[in-house]
Structure 1
Amino acid sequence: MEFLVGVKEVGEILGWDRRKVSTYHLRGVLPKPVVSLSSGPIWFRKQIEYYKADKESCVTTYYIEGELVYECKPNYPIKETSYSPEEIKESKRNYNVYQEKDIKQLKNAILEKNPIAQFLSFESISFLHDLGILETDVFHDYIYQYSFENIELTKRGRDEESC
């Protein structure tokens, strides 16, 4: 299962030792793991690869909700800015902007199980989740609907008597 990674593999991808990965995870700097087991957190490999690429890119991301503009950084709470939507749109800086109406359409497509949602990339949905723009429950709905559709559950021991 190379699409899932633990602390060791995350360290290899990021060029860090295991202690640094564990420390950054505990501080909430790394993407939220898909699941935490007794052996440690588990992420999708793409989450960590995207995190690495984002750290290296220096692009600011903004979320515009009505007349409010928020600055978004992966795995940090979104922060209200003093900018107006017009100031952001006129800026010459390197940035990404997400609009409230577009995010609402995206959420509705996922929650209503609209067939178009199957064509959304995991990287985009994960990125919006890590930025704090897409809620965890919507992200999990997307994962359960589309990421695991080809993985069959094993029935080991199910045919025998129940305990």
Structure 2
Amino acid sequence: MDFLVGVKEVGEILGWDRRKVSTYQLRGVLPKPVVQLYSGPIWFRKQIEFYKVGKDFGVRTYYIKDEMVYECMHNQPLKDTIYSPNDIKEQMGNYILYQEKDIQQLKNAILEKNPIVQFLSFESVSFLHDLGILETVVFQDYIQQYSFEDIESTKEGRVKE
């Protein structure tokens, strides 16, 4: 099951030791784990790989809701900015911009089980969730609907020859 990773594998992906992974996870720096087991947190590998790419390139993410512009960071609450929507749109640089109307359409599509949702990448939906733009309830609904369709169940025990 190489699509799921624990603390050890996250450390290998990010080039960190296990203690640093655990510390950063407890501080809320890493993406939210899919599940927390007694043995530790479990993530989808793609969550960690996407986190690494964003971290390495220093891309800022903004969310426009009503007339407010928020800066979004992994596992942090949305942060008010002094920018207006026009200021952000005119800004040069390395950033991603999401608008409320687009996110609302995405939420509706997921919650209404619109077939188009199956074509969304897990990475993009997970990214929006980790930034606090997409609520956990909607993200979990997406996962339940589409993330495990192609995973076949395995039989436990030995096969008789």
Give the TM-score range, shorter chain.
over 0.9
Aligned residues: 157
Unaligned runs of 5+ in 1: 157-163
Indicate the residue corresponding to 1:114 in structure 2: 114
The residue that corresponds to 1:40 in the other structure is 40
Instruction: Give the superposed CA RMSD.
Output: 1.4
Q: CA deviation at 1:153?
A: 5.0
Q: Which residue is equivalent to 1:137?
A: 137
What is the Cα deviation at residue 94 of structure 1? 1.8
Scaled by the length of structure 1, the TM-score of the pair is 0.92
- In the TM superposition, what is the alpha-carbon distance from 1:150 to its structure 2 partner? 2.7
Task: For residue 75 of structure 1, report the CA deviation from its aligned partner.
Answer: 1.4
- Secondary structure of the 2:43 match is strand
Q: Structure 2 length as normaliser, TM-score?
A: 0.93
Aligned to 2:6: 6
Match of 2:98 in 1: 98
Alignment of 1:11-90 (within 5 A): 11-90=11-90
The gaps in structure 2 that reach 5 residues or longer are 157-161
Identity %: 77
CA shift for structure 1 position 49: 0.4
Q: Distance in 1 between matches of 2:115 and 2:149?
A: 13
Name the SS for the 1:24 alignment partner.
helix
In the alignment, the residues of structure 1 paired with residue 53 and residue 94 of structure 2 have an alpha-carbon distance, to the nearest angstrom, of: 15
Cα distance in 2 for residues equivalent to 1:151 and 1:121: 16
- The Cα of 1:72 is off from its aligned counterpart by 0.5
Q: CA deviation at 1:154?
A: 6.2
User: Structure 2: how far apart are the matches of 1:52 and 1:127?
Assistant: 12
- Which stretches of structure 1, 4 residues or longer, exceed 4 Å deviation after superposition? 152-156
- Give the secondary structure class of the aligned counterpart of 1:75: coil
